Structure 1
Protein backbone atom coordinates (compact mmCIF):
# COMPACT_ATOMS: atom_id res chain seq x y z
CA UNK A 1 0.00 0.00 0.00
CA UNK A 2 0.97 3.65 -0.29
CA UNK A 3 -0.46 7.08 0.48
CA UNK A 4 -1.54 9.13 -2.56
CA UNK A 5 -2.24 12.86 -2.66
CA UNK A 6 -5.88 13.63 -3.52
CA UNK A 7 -4.75 16.86 -5.13
CA UNK A 8 -1.98 15.84 -7.54
CA UNK A 9 -1.63 12.07 -7.18
CA UNK A 10 1.87 12.33 -5.68
CA UNK A 11 3.29 10.28 -2.82
CA UNK A 12 2.33 11.55 0.64
CA UNK A 13 4.93 10.96 3.35
CA UNK A 14 5.26 11.77 7.05
CA UNK A 15 7.14 15.03 7.73
CA UNK A 16 8.98 15.01 11.10
CA UNK A 17 9.25 18.82 11.26
CA UNK A 18 5.55 19.51 10.76
CA UNK A 19 4.47 16.24 12.38
CA UNK A 20 1.94 15.59 9.64
CA UNK A 21 1.50 13.90 6.27
CA UNK A 22 2.63 16.07 3.34
CA UNK A 23 2.68 15.45 -0.41
CA UNK A 24 6.24 15.33 -1.74
CA UNK A 25 5.11 16.78 -5.09
CA UNK A 26 2.74 19.66 -4.36
CA UNK A 27 3.06 20.15 -0.61
CA UNK A 28 -0.62 19.45 0.03
CA UNK A 29 -1.32 18.72 3.71
CA UNK A 30 -4.81 17.33 3.23
CA UNK A 31 -5.86 13.83 4.23
CA UNK A 32 -4.24 11.40 1.72
CA UNK A 33 -5.88 8.51 -0.07
CA UNK A 34 -4.73 5.08 1.08
CA UNK A 35 -4.10 2.79 -1.89
CA UNK A 36 -4.21 -0.83 -0.78
CA UNK A 37 -1.99 -3.60 -2.02
CA UNK A 38 -3.42 -5.42 -5.07
CA UNK A 39 -0.55 -7.81 -5.62
CA UNK A 40 2.11 -8.81 -3.16
CA UNK A 41 5.35 -6.85 -3.45
CA UNK A 42 4.31 -4.95 -6.55
CA UNK A 43 4.39 -1.15 -6.49
CA UNK A 44 0.80 0.09 -6.34
CA UNK A 45 1.80 3.28 -8.14
CA UNK A 46 3.81 2.17 -11.20
CA UNK A 47 3.10 -1.56 -11.25
CA UNK A 48 6.74 -2.61 -11.11
CA UNK A 49 7.71 -5.74 -9.21
CA UNK A 50 9.86 -4.80 -6.23
CA UNK A 51 12.77 -6.95 -5.18
CA UNK A 52 12.69 -7.07 -1.40
CA UNK A 53 14.25 -9.05 1.41
CA UNK A 54 11.97 -11.22 3.52
CA UNK A 55 12.16 -8.76 6.41
CA UNK A 56 11.46 -5.57 4.42
CA UNK A 57 8.27 -3.84 5.49
CA UNK A 58 8.53 -0.36 3.99
CA UNK A 59 10.86 0.79 1.22
CA UNK A 60 11.21 3.15 -1.71
CA UNK A 61 10.26 1.84 -5.14
CA UNK A 62 13.48 1.98 -7.22
CA UNK A 63 11.48 2.81 -10.36
CA UNK A 64 9.10 5.63 -9.37
CA UNK A 65 10.31 6.66 -5.90
CA UNK A 66 7.03 5.86 -4.14
CA UNK A 67 7.30 4.60 -0.56
CA UNK A 68 5.53 1.25 -0.57
CA UNK A 69 4.40 -0.56 2.58
CA UNK A 70 3.90 -4.33 2.41
CA UNK A 71 0.67 -4.63 4.35
CA UNK A 72 0.74 -8.45 4.25
CA UNK A 73 3.77 -8.26 6.55
CA UNK A 74 1.78 -6.55 9.30
CA UNK A 75 -0.59 -9.41 9.99
CA UNK A 76 -1.05 -11.99 12.76
CA UNK A 77 2.11 -12.27 14.90
CA UNK A 78 3.68 -9.42 12.90
CA UNK A 79 0.93 -6.93 13.71
CA UNK A 80 2.74 -3.96 15.35
CA UNK A 81 1.57 -2.54 18.67
CA UNK A 82 3.42 0.75 19.08
CA UNK A 83 5.37 3.33 17.08
CA UNK A 84 7.44 6.35 18.05
CA UNK A 85 7.37 8.81 15.10
CA UNK A 86 10.41 10.63 13.72
CA UNK A 87 10.90 14.07 15.28
CA UNK A 88 13.93 15.29 13.27
CA UNK A 89 14.46 15.24 9.51
CA UNK A 90 17.49 14.18 7.47
CA UNK A 91 19.14 17.63 7.33
CA UNK A 92 18.83 18.14 11.08
CA UNK A 93 20.24 14.65 11.68
CA UNK A 94 23.19 15.42 9.41
CA UNK A 95 23.86 18.71 11.23
CA UNK A 96 23.85 16.90 14.57
CA UNK A 97 26.25 14.30 13.20
CA UNK A 98 28.61 17.03 11.97
CA UNK A 99 28.41 18.77 15.33
CA UNK A 100 29.20 15.55 17.17
CA UNK A 101 32.39 14.82 15.22
CA UNK A 102 33.46 18.33 14.10
CA UNK A 103 36.20 18.61 16.74
CA UNK A 104 37.77 15.24 15.98
CA UNK A 105 41.35 15.58 14.74
CA UNK A 106 42.13 14.48 11.19
CA UNK A 107 38.50 13.96 10.15
CA UNK A 108 38.28 13.35 6.36
CA UNK A 109 37.25 16.47 4.48
CA UNK A 110 34.17 15.00 2.77
CA UNK A 111 32.68 13.53 5.96
CA UNK A 112 28.97 14.48 5.99
CA UNK A 113 29.43 16.49 2.79
CA UNK A 114 26.62 17.19 0.33
CA UNK A 115 28.05 14.50 -1.96
CA UNK A 116 27.57 11.79 0.68
CA UNK A 117 24.27 12.89 2.29
CA UNK A 118 22.28 10.53 0.06
CA UNK A 119 23.71 7.61 1.98
CA UNK A 120 21.79 8.74 5.07
CA UNK A 121 18.49 6.89 5.39
CA UNK A 122 15.63 6.99 7.84
CA UNK A 123 14.77 3.63 9.38
CA UNK A 124 12.10 2.35 11.69
CA UNK A 125 13.91 -0.32 13.68
CA UNK A 126 11.80 -3.15 15.13
CA UNK A 127 11.98 -3.42 18.92
CA UNK A 128 10.41 -5.54 21.58
CA UNK A 129 9.45 -3.46 24.61
CA UNK A 130 8.85 -5.23 27.92
CA UNK A 131 6.91 -4.41 31.05
CA UNK A 132 8.73 -6.26 33.83
CA UNK A 133 8.24 -6.88 37.53
CA UNK A 134 11.53 -7.35 39.38
CA UNK A 135 12.06 -8.58 42.93
CA UNK A 136 15.41 -7.74 44.51
CA UNK A 137 16.78 -9.51 47.58
CA UNK A 138 20.17 -8.48 48.95
CA UNK A 139 22.13 -9.55 52.02
CA UNK A 140 25.64 -8.66 53.05
CA UNK A 141 28.03 -6.87 55.37
CA UNK A 142 28.81 -3.18 55.26
CA UNK A 143 31.46 -1.03 56.92
CA UNK A 144 31.41 2.50 58.21
CA UNK A 145 34.87 3.90 58.72
CA UNK A 146 35.67 6.83 61.04
CA UNK A 147 39.13 8.42 61.20
CA UNK A 148 40.55 11.05 63.55
CA UNK A 149 43.83 12.30 65.01
CA UNK A 150 44.72 11.79 68.66
CA UNK A 151 48.01 13.36 69.63
CA UNK A 152 50.68 11.96 67.35
CA UNK A 153 48.45 9.09 66.24
CA UNK A 154 46.09 8.61 63.31
CA UNK A 155 43.14 6.57 64.53
CA UNK A 156 40.65 4.48 62.55
CA UNK A 157 37.43 2.89 63.77
CA UNK A 158 35.56 0.41 61.59
CA UNK A 159 31.99 -0.52 62.42
CA UNK A 160 30.53 -3.52 60.60
CA UNK A 161 26.81 -4.04 60.03
CA UNK A 162 24.66 -6.78 58.57
CA UNK A 163 22.33 -5.36 55.93
CA UNK A 164 19.26 -6.79 54.22
CA UNK A 165 17.46 -5.15 51.30
CA UNK A 166 14.24 -6.54 49.91
CA UNK A 167 12.14 -4.57 47.42
CA UNK A 168 10.12 -4.71 44.20
CA UNK A 169 10.47 -2.59 41.05
CA UNK A 170 8.13 -2.34 38.06
CA UNK A 171 9.64 -1.38 34.70
CA UNK A 172 7.66 -0.06 31.75
CA UNK A 173 8.69 -0.49 28.12
CA UNK A 174 12.29 -1.69 28.43
CA UNK A 175 13.45 -1.62 24.76
CA UNK A 176 15.47 -4.33 22.99
CA UNK A 177 16.12 -4.10 19.25
CA UNK A 178 14.73 -7.05 17.31
CA UNK A 179 16.79 -6.81 14.11
CA UNK A 180 19.78 -9.07 13.56
CA UNK A 181 21.17 -6.56 11.06
CA UNK A 182 21.42 -3.76 13.61
CA UNK A 183 24.42 -3.81 16.00
CA UNK A 184 23.10 -4.28 19.53
CA UNK A 185 25.83 -2.17 21.13
CA UNK A 186 25.02 0.82 18.90
CA UNK A 187 21.28 0.43 19.47
CA UNK A 188 21.89 0.54 23.23
CA UNK A 189 24.15 3.59 22.90
CA UNK A 190 21.65 5.60 20.86
CA UNK A 191 19.11 5.30 23.71
CA UNK A 192 17.23 6.71 25.48
CA UNK A 193 14.23 7.84 23.46
CA UNK A 194 11.44 10.01 24.87
CA UNK A 195 9.10 7.12 25.39
CA UNK A 196 6.17 9.30 26.42
CA UNK A 197 5.74 9.98 22.68
CA UNK A 198 5.00 6.29 22.01
CA UNK A 199 1.57 5.74 20.51
CA UNK A 200 -0.55 3.09 18.90
CA UNK A 201 0.88 1.90 15.59
CA UNK A 202 -0.29 3.68 12.46
CA UNK A 203 1.19 2.73 9.07
CA UNK A 204 1.20 6.37 7.94
CA UNK A 205 4.32 7.00 10.04
CA UNK A 206 6.23 4.49 7.87
CA UNK A 207 5.57 6.44 4.66
CA UNK A 208 8.81 8.19 3.69
CA UNK A 209 11.07 5.81 5.59
CA UNK A 210 12.39 2.28 5.42
CA UNK A 211 11.24 -0.34 7.91
CA UNK A 212 11.84 -4.00 8.63
CA UNK A 213 9.83 -6.59 10.51
CA UNK A 214 11.46 -8.27 13.49
CA UNK A 215 13.63 -11.32 12.91
CA UNK A 216 14.21 -12.08 16.62
CA UNK A 217 11.18 -13.00 18.71
CA UNK A 218 10.32 -11.71 22.17
CA UNK A 219 11.24 -14.94 23.97
CA UNK A 220 14.70 -14.95 22.41
CA UNK A 221 15.32 -11.34 23.45
CA UNK A 222 13.85 -11.52 26.95
CA UNK A 223 17.26 -12.24 28.57
CA UNK A 224 18.56 -8.93 27.19
CA UNK A 225 15.59 -7.08 28.69
CA UNK A 226 16.20 -8.84 32.01
CA UNK A 227 19.87 -7.84 31.88
CA UNK A 228 18.86 -4.20 31.42
CA UNK A 229 16.42 -4.45 34.34
CA UNK A 230 19.16 -6.00 36.53
CA UNK A 231 21.44 -3.07 35.69
CA UNK A 232 18.77 -0.53 36.68
CA UNK A 233 17.98 -2.50 39.86
CA UNK A 234 21.65 -2.51 40.83
CA UNK A 235 21.64 1.29 40.63
CA UNK A 236 18.64 1.44 42.97
CA UNK A 237 20.42 -0.94 45.30
CA UNK A 238 23.52 1.26 45.26
CA UNK A 239 21.37 4.19 46.35
CA UNK A 240 20.17 2.23 49.39
CA UNK A 241 23.77 1.41 50.39
CA UNK A 242 25.40 4.76 49.70
CA UNK A 243 25.84 5.56 53.41
CA UNK A 244 28.45 2.81 53.81
CA UNK A 245 32.16 2.99 52.93
CA UNK A 246 32.39 -0.66 51.86
CA UNK A 247 29.78 -3.30 51.07
CA UNK A 248 30.39 -7.06 50.80
CA UNK A 249 27.39 -8.93 49.34
CA UNK A 250 26.58 -12.51 50.31
CA UNK A 251 23.24 -12.64 48.46
CA UNK A 252 22.39 -10.43 45.47
CA UNK A 253 19.36 -11.96 43.81
CA UNK A 254 17.20 -10.32 41.13
CA UNK A 255 14.20 -12.09 39.61
CA UNK A 256 12.30 -10.51 36.72
CA UNK A 257 9.00 -11.68 35.26
CA UNK A 258 7.32 -10.40 32.11
CA UNK A 259 4.01 -8.58 32.60
CA UNK A 260 3.55 -7.59 28.95
CA UNK A 261 5.49 -7.15 25.71
CA UNK A 262 4.96 -4.85 22.72
CA UNK A 263 6.14 -5.13 19.12
CA UNK A 264 7.25 -1.57 18.38
CA UNK A 265 9.06 0.65 15.90
CA UNK A 266 11.60 3.30 16.95
CA UNK A 267 13.08 5.94 14.58
CA UNK A 268 16.74 6.01 13.56
CA UNK A 269 18.86 7.77 10.95
CA UNK A 270 21.73 5.68 9.57
CA UNK A 271 24.67 7.23 7.73
CA UNK A 272 27.19 4.97 5.98
CA UNK A 273 30.47 6.68 5.16
CA UNK A 274 32.97 4.85 2.97
CA UNK A 275 36.62 5.72 3.48
CA UNK A 276 39.81 3.83 2.66
CA UNK A 277 37.85 0.87 1.28
CA UNK A 278 35.91 0.44 4.54
CA UNK A 279 32.35 1.31 5.57
CA UNK A 280 31.85 3.35 8.75
CA UNK A 281 28.32 3.34 10.14
CA UNK A 282 26.82 6.16 12.20
CA UNK A 283 23.44 6.33 13.89
CA UNK A 284 21.32 9.29 14.96
CA UNK A 285 18.35 8.88 17.27
CA UNK A 286 15.42 9.98 15.11
CA UNK A 287 13.72 11.66 18.03
CA UNK A 288 16.37 13.07 20.40
CA UNK A 289 19.20 13.57 17.88
CA UNK A 290 21.78 11.64 19.90
CA UNK A 291 24.57 10.57 17.49
CA UNK A 292 26.91 7.60 17.87
CA UNK A 293 29.64 6.04 15.74
CA UNK A 294 33.39 5.92 15.24
CA UNK A 295 34.81 8.26 12.60
CA UNK A 296 37.90 7.35 10.54
CA UNK A 297 41.19 9.23 10.56
CA UNK A 298 42.48 10.93 7.42
CA UNK A 299 46.06 9.71 7.02
CA UNK A 300 46.90 12.57 4.67
CA UNK A 301 45.75 15.16 7.23
CA UNK A 302 47.70 13.39 9.97
CA UNK A 303 50.82 13.32 7.78
CA UNK A 304 50.54 17.04 6.97
CA UNK A 305 50.16 17.82 10.68
CA UNK A 306 53.14 15.62 11.55
CA UNK A 307 55.36 17.28 8.94
CA UNK A 308 54.24 20.75 9.99
CA UNK A 309 54.82 20.18 13.70
CA UNK A 310 58.02 18.19 13.56
CA UNK A 311 59.37 20.14 10.60
CA UNK A 312 58.97 23.33 12.61
CA UNK A 313 60.58 21.68 15.62
CA UNK A 314 63.53 20.49 13.50
CA UNK A 315 64.00 24.00 12.10
CA UNK A 316 63.98 25.47 15.62
CA UNK A 317 66.62 23.01 16.85
CA UNK A 318 68.82 23.73 13.83
CA UNK A 319 68.62 27.46 14.50
CA UNK A 320 69.52 26.98 18.16
CA UNK A 321 72.54 24.87 17.24
CA UNK A 322 73.59 27.47 14.69
CA UNK A 323 73.30 30.31 17.20
CA UNK A 324 75.18 28.33 19.85
CA UNK A 325 77.93 27.66 17.31
CA UNK A 326 78.17 31.36 16.50
CA UNK A 327 78.41 32.29 20.16
Structure 2
Protein backbone atom coordinates (compact mmCIF):
# COMPACT_ATOMS: atom_id res chain seq x y z
CA UNK A 1 0.00 0.00 0.00
CA UNK A 2 1.11 3.57 -0.72
CA UNK A 3 0.05 6.84 0.92
CA UNK A 4 -0.56 10.21 -0.75
CA UNK A 5 -1.75 13.63 0.37
CA UNK A 6 -5.03 14.98 -0.97
CA UNK A 7 -4.14 18.18 -2.87
CA UNK A 8 -7.36 19.83 -1.66
CA UNK A 9 -7.61 19.10 2.07
CA UNK A 10 -4.25 17.49 2.80
CA UNK A 11 -5.74 14.26 4.15
CA UNK A 12 -3.73 11.06 3.80
CA UNK A 13 -4.95 8.76 1.05
CA UNK A 14 -3.95 5.11 1.32
CA UNK A 15 -4.14 3.23 -1.97
CA UNK A 16 -2.72 0.05 -3.42
CA UNK A 17 0.16 0.40 -5.83
CA UNK A 18 -1.98 0.10 -8.98
CA UNK A 19 -4.48 2.88 -8.13
CA UNK A 20 -4.01 5.85 -10.45
CA UNK A 21 -7.10 7.96 -9.64
CA UNK A 22 -9.41 8.00 -6.65
CA UNK A 23 -11.74 10.19 -4.58
CA UNK A 24 -10.78 11.64 -1.22
CA UNK A 25 -13.08 10.13 1.44
CA UNK A 26 -12.81 13.30 3.57
CA UNK A 27 -13.50 16.17 1.18
CA UNK A 28 -14.96 14.20 -1.75
CA UNK A 29 -12.67 15.76 -4.32
CA UNK A 30 -11.25 13.59 -7.11
CA UNK A 31 -7.52 13.01 -7.05
CA UNK A 32 -5.24 11.82 -9.85
CA UNK A 33 -2.10 10.23 -8.44
CA UNK A 34 0.89 11.52 -10.33
CA UNK A 35 3.25 9.15 -12.11
CA UNK A 36 0.91 6.15 -12.20
CA UNK A 37 -0.25 6.81 -15.77
CA UNK A 38 2.74 8.55 -17.26
CA UNK A 39 5.83 7.58 -19.22
CA UNK A 40 5.83 3.88 -20.10
CA UNK A 41 2.68 3.43 -17.97
CA UNK A 42 0.69 5.98 -19.96
CA UNK A 43 -2.28 4.43 -21.80
CA UNK A 44 -2.61 4.98 -25.52
CA UNK A 45 -6.40 5.37 -25.44
CA UNK A 46 -9.28 6.03 -23.09
CA UNK A 47 -12.98 5.31 -23.66
CA UNK A 48 -15.05 7.86 -21.71
CA UNK A 49 -18.03 6.93 -19.56
CA UNK A 50 -21.40 7.49 -21.22
CA UNK A 51 -23.61 6.21 -18.40
CA UNK A 52 -23.69 7.66 -14.89
CA UNK A 53 -24.27 6.12 -11.46
CA UNK A 54 -28.07 6.51 -11.68
CA UNK A 55 -28.09 4.60 -14.96
CA UNK A 56 -26.05 1.81 -13.38
CA UNK A 57 -28.49 1.45 -10.47
CA UNK A 58 -31.48 1.48 -12.85
CA UNK A 59 -29.84 -1.17 -15.01
CA UNK A 60 -29.29 -3.38 -11.97
CA UNK A 61 -33.00 -3.10 -11.11
CA UNK A 62 -33.92 -4.11 -14.66
CA UNK A 63 -31.48 -7.00 -14.43
CA UNK A 64 -33.51 -8.47 -11.56
CA UNK A 65 -36.67 -8.62 -13.69
CA UNK A 66 -37.59 -11.88 -15.36
CA UNK A 67 -35.36 -13.96 -13.06
CA UNK A 68 -37.85 -16.68 -12.14
CA UNK A 69 -35.78 -18.21 -9.33
CA UNK A 70 -34.63 -14.96 -7.71
CA UNK A 71 -35.83 -14.72 -4.07
CA UNK A 72 -38.57 -12.10 -3.81
CA UNK A 73 -36.97 -10.62 -0.73
CA UNK A 74 -33.68 -10.06 -2.51
CA UNK A 75 -34.99 -7.06 -4.46
CA UNK A 76 -36.35 -5.32 -1.39
CA UNK A 77 -33.86 -6.34 1.30
CA UNK A 78 -30.51 -6.17 -0.44
CA UNK A 79 -28.77 -2.84 -0.57
CA UNK A 80 -25.99 -1.61 -2.79
CA UNK A 81 -23.04 -1.54 -0.43
CA UNK A 82 -20.73 0.09 -2.95
CA UNK A 83 -20.91 1.42 -6.49
CA UNK A 84 -17.89 2.79 -8.25
CA UNK A 85 -17.03 3.83 -11.77
CA UNK A 86 -13.66 2.38 -12.68
CA UNK A 87 -11.42 2.94 -15.65
CA UNK A 88 -10.17 -0.62 -16.04
CA UNK A 89 -6.84 -1.25 -17.80
CA UNK A 90 -7.25 -3.31 -20.95
CA UNK A 91 -4.90 -4.62 -23.59
CA UNK A 92 -6.37 -4.42 -27.09
CA UNK A 93 -4.69 -6.88 -29.43
CA UNK A 94 -4.34 -6.76 -33.20
CA UNK A 95 -3.54 -9.96 -35.09
CA UNK A 96 -3.63 -11.70 -38.44
CA UNK A 97 -4.80 -15.30 -38.71
CA UNK A 98 -4.73 -17.85 -41.48
CA UNK A 99 -6.36 -21.25 -41.50
CA UNK A 100 -6.57 -24.26 -43.74
CA UNK A 101 -8.21 -27.60 -43.28
CA UNK A 102 -8.92 -30.86 -45.05
CA UNK A 103 -12.04 -32.89 -44.29
CA UNK A 104 -13.95 -35.92 -45.51
CA UNK A 105 -17.53 -35.01 -46.32
CA UNK A 106 -20.32 -37.53 -46.65
CA UNK A 107 -23.85 -37.39 -48.05
CA UNK A 108 -26.07 -40.44 -47.66
CA UNK A 109 -29.42 -41.33 -49.23
CA UNK A 110 -31.57 -44.38 -48.51
CA UNK A 111 -34.34 -46.01 -50.54
CA UNK A 112 -36.20 -49.31 -50.47
CA UNK A 113 -35.73 -51.98 -53.11
CA UNK A 114 -38.18 -54.81 -52.40
CA UNK A 115 -37.40 -56.19 -48.98
CA UNK A 116 -34.13 -54.28 -48.72
CA UNK A 117 -33.20 -50.77 -47.63
CA UNK A 118 -30.38 -49.55 -49.84
CA UNK A 119 -28.13 -46.72 -48.63
CA UNK A 120 -25.86 -44.84 -51.02
CA UNK A 121 -23.05 -42.79 -49.53
CA UNK A 122 -21.02 -40.28 -51.49
CA UNK A 123 -17.60 -39.24 -50.20
CA UNK A 124 -16.04 -35.83 -50.83
CA UNK A 125 -12.56 -34.43 -50.42
CA UNK A 126 -13.31 -31.10 -48.73
CA UNK A 127 -10.59 -28.45 -48.50
CA UNK A 128 -10.92 -24.98 -47.04
CA UNK A 129 -8.55 -22.09 -46.39
CA UNK A 130 -8.85 -18.42 -45.53
CA UNK A 131 -7.50 -15.53 -43.47
CA UNK A 132 -8.85 -13.08 -40.91
CA UNK A 133 -7.77 -9.76 -39.40
CA UNK A 134 -8.44 -9.05 -35.73
CA UNK A 135 -8.50 -5.50 -34.40
CA UNK A 136 -8.43 -4.51 -30.73
CA UNK A 137 -9.48 -7.79 -29.11
CA UNK A 138 -9.83 -6.81 -25.41
CA UNK A 139 -8.32 -8.53 -22.38
CA UNK A 140 -8.34 -6.80 -18.98
CA UNK A 141 -4.91 -6.25 -17.48
CA UNK A 142 -6.01 -6.13 -13.83
CA UNK A 143 -5.75 -9.15 -11.57
CA UNK A 144 -8.36 -7.52 -9.29
CA UNK A 145 -11.11 -7.71 -11.91
CA UNK A 146 -12.96 -11.03 -12.44
CA UNK A 147 -12.19 -12.15 -15.99
CA UNK A 148 -15.63 -13.68 -16.51
CA UNK A 149 -17.34 -10.39 -15.68
CA UNK A 150 -15.00 -8.37 -17.90
CA UNK A 151 -15.53 -10.73 -20.85
CA UNK A 152 -19.30 -10.79 -20.39
CA UNK A 153 -19.84 -7.00 -20.59
CA UNK A 154 -18.29 -6.76 -24.07
CA UNK A 155 -18.43 -5.40 -26.68
CA UNK A 156 -17.20 -1.83 -26.43
CA UNK A 157 -17.68 0.64 -29.27
CA UNK A 158 -14.15 1.65 -30.22
CA UNK A 159 -15.49 4.45 -32.41
CA UNK A 160 -15.51 6.58 -29.22
CA UNK A 161 -11.88 5.88 -28.26
CA UNK A 162 -9.97 9.04 -27.42
CA UNK A 163 -6.25 9.70 -27.03
CA UNK A 164 -5.52 9.31 -23.33
CA UNK A 165 -5.90 12.37 -21.15
CA UNK A 166 -6.13 12.62 -17.37
CA UNK A 167 -8.98 15.11 -17.91
CA UNK A 168 -11.36 12.11 -18.16
CA UNK A 169 -10.34 10.63 -14.79
CA UNK A 170 -11.76 12.95 -12.08
CA UNK A 171 -14.75 11.39 -10.35
CA UNK A 172 -13.73 7.83 -11.17
CA UNK A 173 -11.29 5.27 -9.92
CA UNK A 174 -8.54 4.35 -12.35
CA UNK A 175 -6.10 1.48 -12.14
CA UNK A 176 -2.94 0.84 -14.05
CA UNK A 177 -2.29 -2.67 -15.25
CA UNK A 178 -0.59 -5.25 -13.03
CA UNK A 179 -0.62 -7.91 -15.77
CA UNK A 180 1.39 -6.82 -18.80
CA UNK A 181 0.67 -7.44 -22.49
CA UNK A 182 2.72 -10.65 -22.56
CA UNK A 183 0.92 -12.08 -19.52
CA UNK A 184 -2.51 -11.42 -21.06
CA UNK A 185 -1.64 -12.47 -24.62
CA UNK A 186 -2.63 -16.12 -24.15
CA UNK A 187 -6.25 -15.21 -23.41
CA UNK A 188 -6.43 -13.04 -26.53
CA UNK A 189 -4.69 -15.70 -28.63
CA UNK A 190 -7.15 -18.38 -27.51
CA UNK A 191 -10.14 -16.19 -28.38
CA UNK A 192 -8.76 -15.44 -31.83
CA UNK A 193 -7.83 -19.07 -32.44
CA UNK A 194 -11.31 -20.29 -31.49
CA UNK A 195 -13.01 -17.61 -33.61
CA UNK A 196 -10.88 -18.55 -36.62
CA UNK A 197 -11.61 -22.25 -36.13
CA UNK A 198 -15.36 -21.57 -35.86
CA UNK A 199 -15.29 -19.51 -39.07
CA UNK A 200 -13.40 -22.27 -40.87
CA UNK A 201 -15.84 -24.95 -39.70
CA UNK A 202 -18.81 -22.81 -40.75
CA UNK A 203 -17.71 -23.12 -44.39
CA UNK A 204 -18.01 -26.93 -44.38
CA UNK A 205 -21.81 -27.10 -44.38
CA UNK A 206 -23.88 -28.99 -46.92
CA UNK A 207 -22.82 -32.48 -45.89
CA UNK A 208 -24.66 -34.99 -43.74
CA UNK A 209 -21.35 -35.77 -42.02
CA UNK A 210 -18.01 -34.02 -41.95
CA UNK A 211 -14.84 -35.57 -40.51
CA UNK A 212 -11.61 -33.58 -40.02
CA UNK A 213 -8.44 -35.01 -41.53
CA UNK A 214 -6.06 -32.14 -40.82
CA UNK A 215 -6.23 -28.51 -39.70
CA UNK A 216 -3.62 -25.80 -39.46
CA UNK A 217 -4.53 -22.50 -37.77
CA UNK A 218 -1.95 -19.79 -37.19
CA UNK A 219 -2.52 -16.54 -35.27
CA UNK A 220 0.17 -13.87 -35.56
CA UNK A 221 -0.18 -11.24 -32.81
CA UNK A 222 0.99 -7.95 -34.31
CA UNK A 223 0.31 -5.22 -31.73
CA UNK A 224 -1.10 -4.59 -28.25
CA UNK A 225 -2.69 -1.22 -27.44
CA UNK A 226 -3.02 -0.08 -23.82
CA UNK A 227 -6.38 1.54 -23.02
CA UNK A 228 -8.62 2.40 -20.08
CA UNK A 229 -12.22 1.26 -20.56
CA UNK A 230 -15.25 2.34 -18.45
CA UNK A 231 -16.83 -0.15 -16.04
CA UNK A 232 -19.32 0.35 -13.21
CA UNK A 233 -18.69 -2.11 -10.36
CA UNK A 234 -21.70 -2.69 -8.07
CA UNK A 235 -21.30 -4.59 -4.84
CA UNK A 236 -24.38 -5.74 -2.91
CA UNK A 237 -24.88 -7.73 0.28
CA UNK A 238 -27.80 -9.96 1.23
CA UNK A 239 -27.98 -12.42 4.11
CA UNK A 240 -24.29 -11.82 4.84
CA UNK A 241 -23.29 -12.83 1.33
CA UNK A 242 -21.58 -10.70 -1.30
CA UNK A 243 -22.86 -10.30 -4.86
CA UNK A 244 -20.74 -8.54 -7.47
CA UNK A 245 -22.04 -6.95 -10.67
CA UNK A 246 -20.18 -5.26 -13.50
CA UNK A 247 -21.71 -2.94 -16.08
CA UNK A 248 -20.24 -1.61 -19.29
CA UNK A 249 -20.04 2.13 -18.66
CA UNK A 250 -20.60 2.85 -22.34
CA UNK A 251 -23.34 0.42 -23.45
CA UNK A 252 -25.06 -0.55 -20.17
CA UNK A 253 -24.51 -4.28 -20.61
CA UNK A 254 -24.57 -5.77 -17.09
CA UNK A 255 -23.60 -9.13 -15.65
CA UNK A 256 -23.46 -10.45 -12.11
CA UNK A 257 -24.20 -13.18 -9.61
CA UNK A 258 -27.69 -13.69 -8.20
CA UNK A 259 -28.99 -15.91 -5.40
CA UNK A 260 -31.38 -18.77 -6.16
CA UNK A 261 -34.53 -19.54 -4.18
CA UNK A 262 -34.36 -23.34 -3.86
CA UNK A 263 -38.01 -23.59 -2.84
CA UNK A 264 -39.08 -21.83 -6.06
CA UNK A 265 -36.87 -24.18 -8.09
CA UNK A 266 -38.45 -27.19 -6.40
CA UNK A 267 -41.94 -25.83 -7.00
CA UNK A 268 -41.15 -25.27 -10.70
CA UNK A 269 -39.95 -28.87 -11.14
CA UNK A 270 -42.99 -30.14 -9.25
CA UNK A 271 -45.24 -28.14 -11.55
CA UNK A 272 -43.72 -29.91 -14.54
CA UNK A 273 -43.28 -33.43 -13.15
CA UNK A 274 -46.73 -33.92 -11.59
CA UNK A 275 -48.69 -33.33 -14.84
CA UNK A 276 -46.28 -35.60 -16.70
CA UNK A 277 -46.74 -38.34 -14.13
CA UNK A 278 -50.53 -38.02 -14.47
CA UNK A 279 -50.32 -38.34 -18.28
CA UNK A 280 -48.06 -41.40 -18.03
CA UNK A 281 -50.39 -43.03 -15.49
CA UNK A 282 -53.35 -42.41 -17.81
CA UNK A 283 -51.51 -43.95 -20.77
CA UNK A 284 -50.60 -47.04 -18.78
CA UNK A 285 -54.26 -47.62 -17.98
CA UNK A 286 -55.24 -47.65 -21.66
2:49–2:230: 8 Å Cα contact kept in structure 1? yes
Aligned residues: 265
State the TM-score, normalizing by the size of structure 2.
0.84
Alpha carbons 1:98, 1:112 under 8 Å: kept: no
- How far residue 51 of structure 1 moved from its aligned partner, in angstroms, is 0.6
Superposed counterparts of 1:157-168, under 5 Å: 157-168=120-131
CA shift digits 1:49-99 (9 cap, x unpaired):
211100101111111111111131112221101111111111112212211
Contact 2:81–2:237 (Cα < 8 Å) also in 1: no
Partners of 2:245 and 2:234 lie apart in 1 by 5
Aligned to 1:244: 207
Relative distance call for 1:124 and 1:156 in structure 2 (3 A) is farther
Q: Which residue of 1 aligns with 2:278?
A: none
* Deviation at residue 235 of structure 1 after TM alignment: 2.3
Which has the larger share of strand? Answer: 2
In the other structure, the counterpart of 1:99 is: 62
Asked if residue 109 in structure 1 is aligned to residue 73 in structure 2, the reply is yes
Alignment of 1:280 onto 2:210? no
User: 5 Å matches for 1:191-210?
Assistant: 191-210=154-173
Q: Which residue number corresponds to residue 72 of structure 1?
A: 35
Unaligned runs of 5+ in 2: 272-286
* 1:133/1:169 contact within 8 Å kept: yes
Compute the displacement of 1:214 (Å).
0.4
Q: Among residues 103, 106, 115, which one is paired with 1:140 in the alignment?
A: 103
Offset of 1:295 from its aligned partner?
0.9
Quickly say closer, same or farther: Cα 1:96–1:112, change in 2 above 3 A. farther
The CA RMSD measured in Å over matched residues stands at: 2.5
Larger Rg: 1
Gaps of 5+ in 1: 1-39, 311-327
TM-score (norm: length of structure 1): 0.74
Alignment of 1:13-92 (within 5 A): 41-92=4-55
Structure-2 separation of matches of 1:142 and 1:239 = 13
In the other structure, the counterpart of 1:125 is 88
Distance verdict in 2 for CA 1:275–1:118, change over 3 Å: closer
- Contact kept? 2:9, 2:27, Cα under 8 Å: yes
For 1:221, what is the secondary structure of its paired residue?
A: helix
Query: Is the CA contact 1:94–1:112 (under 8 Å) kept in the aligned structure 2?
Result: no
Q: 1:29 aligns to what?
A: none
